Chains A and B, each alone.
Chain A
């Protein structure tokens, strides 16, 4: 570490800097600033290109695209609407979130408060590994292992005592909304729980010890100190998970059955904005408007995903500032 510093000792004053240093300073500044500009330009280009691709569909269908349920390539003229996709996205991500949010908070608490030293590192690393598994492998597992289990065991079980609700009726399938919800839950948990653990570790020890000193149990301390202290951050952690679920295309398209129809039963097939693009794209170019309809879906997805992800990241950033980190 010392060698390069002493090597440049002569050249001490700025005014006597060699031409090489003057050029070097400007060059490094220039190329790093250009790289940053390029990244900002890329975002603008991305938004522009997605809307440009969607333009023929925006012109043809306008805003009613959002509340039209029909997706028919073979009609004349072709007719496309995204309502069933928006419903599919909302119901699969929403239900996945209902399961994943409490589980992620619980795992975050276990890893930050409960787990004994040795176990903590191992369990934490294993759950992080779950986040690293590529979605295409989760989808492969979802269709070939989870799917048959859902069809033969989970769905008969659910319909036997929840069959009176409209959600758990009809014939059982290996694919459908239910396996998509399970797959998304599995994908949200490692992300949200990792952020939760980091948040819970930022709670000052004296606050926690104060609560224990008042005779509270661990759970009462969590409810009275940790959760209020980290409330905003926990919301952000769950939003980050939601962001992943909304945009997940591959694993969902492998398990959801790809039908652009609104089915109330979770045993039935469906589709989401993202999985619809992944599923239909290969054959879309045979039709004149379908590619641009898929771009339209991408534009809607982009807006949703950006709102969710950016607000989550802003909250996390603010939280870090509050902690003075």
Chain B
């Protein structure tokens, strides 16, 4: 009797068709946007690999940069310099970052915890170029440039990253662990060091690795703190050293194609380092999450 209107509802009318078309269009757009972003990444890594290949050879690792006008030369001094800068920065930032996280999650009253966390957020929001000019005003004006001062600037960049990630994992430690330890009469400091911290080592390592990857590529603080280097390989933190990011920056501004090649080679090494460290960190995070879930 009244079957017809129902059939009309079930069949796609013009309006439903239009709604479906809009939906498909949006879905297609979102998919396209994602693959475009992946495409940009591929383009960038592809350019670095293609342009770096002709410049990759052993001289790169065994020779220092040639003096101006000379052909050849490698980037050994920049590689060693970068390792020195990032290593020293990690040594400064890691213990302080973890201590701050311990204070916030184990000791601090809630209100003070919020103050410290907000402080770290503020520090994290300071552009790295401002951190560079701050360290210049604070230390370089008085003590001249040195690798030590540059790594202090990098440590300021690493500190909030390390501390935030350490706080996140400390928050994940079940309170039952702490309570069990208390119930056994274990003092607070031994609880923190022998019960709480060991369960979070994976997470802290992840945060530290990501911070190292970030610091290794930072250029802005370096241009204020360690640029007046000589082209020799040096492990002495009291003098300025060359570094991979600065070498790339400096060479990219020059018109010399040989220097461009060297910049691409440096970019290749830096990208391989940054991507392997972040992938390792992701893997550690994944494993850490599984471990905490199985508890």
Name A residues whose Cβ lies closer than 8 Å to a Cβ of B: 1, 4-5, 8-9, 11-14, 17, 21-22, 24-25, 27-29, 31-33, 35-36, 38-40, 42-43, 45-46, 49-50, 52-53, 103, 106-107, 109-111, 114-115, 123, 125-130, 132-141, 143-145, 186, 189-190, 193, 217-220, 222, 243, 246-250, 254, 274, 277-278, 281-282, 294-295, 298, 301-302, 305-306, 308-310, 313
Contact = CB atoms under 8 A, between A and B. Distances in A.
B38 A219 contact: no
Interface stretch (B55-63, B72-80, B212-220, B233-241): B212-220
A8 B186 contact: yes
A127 B37 CA distance: 7
B252 A301 contact: no
B271 A133 contact: yes
Interface of B: 19-20, 22-23, 26-27, 29-31, 33-38, 40-41, 43-44, 47-48, 51, 95-96, 99-100, 102-104, 106-108, 115-116, 118-131, 133-134, 137-138, 156, 159, 163, 180-181, 184-190, 192-195, 198-199, 213-214, 216-220, 223-224, 227, 245, 248-249, 252-253, 260, 263-264, 267, 270-271, 274-275, 278, 282
A217 B275 CA distance: 39
Contact of A220 (B19, B125, B129): B19
A132 B274 contact: yes
25 contacts: A1-B198, A21-B190, A29-B188, A29-B189, A40-B116, A40-B119, A42-B156, A43-B119, A50-B130, A53-B133, A106-B30, A115-B31, A126-B38, A128-B282, A132-B274, A134-B216, A140-B252, A140-B263, A144-B260, A189-B37, A218-B27, A250-B220, A254-B252, A298-B129, A310-B125
B274 A21 contact: no
A32 B99 contact: yes
Contacts of B107: 29, 32-33
A53 B142 CA distance: 13
Contacts of B133: 50, 53, 277, 281, 294-295, 298
B122 A310 contact: yes
Given A32-B102, A39-B120, A141 B34 contact: no
Contacts of B31: 110, 114-115
A248 B23 CA distance: 37
Contacts of A123: 34-35, 38
B34 A107 contact: yes
A12 B181 CA distance: 10
Contact of B248 (A49, A137, A282): A137
Looking at A114, A133, A220, the one whose CB has the most chain B CB atoms below 10 A away is A133
Given A35-B99, A49-B137, A50-B133, A115 B34 contact: yes
A20 to B, nearest CB: 9
Nearest to A33: B103
Given A114-B30, A123-B34, A136 B125 contact: no
A282 B145 CA distance: 13
Contact of B134 (A17, A35, A49, A306): A49
B190 A141 contact: no
Contact of B185 (A9, A40, A301): A9
A249 B260 CA distance: 20
Contacts of A295: 133, 137
B23 A219 contact: yes
Contacts of B190: 4, 8, 21, 24
Given A110-B34, A281-B223, A36 B108 contact: yes
B130 A4 contact: no
Nearest to A250: B219
A171 B73 CA distance: 38
A127 B224 CA distance: 31
Given A28-B189, A126-B41, 8 more contacts: A12-B185, A39-B123, A53-B137, A110-B31, A134-B245, A137-B48, A250-B249, A309-B121
Given A24-B189, A254-B253, A310-B121, A39 B126 contact: no
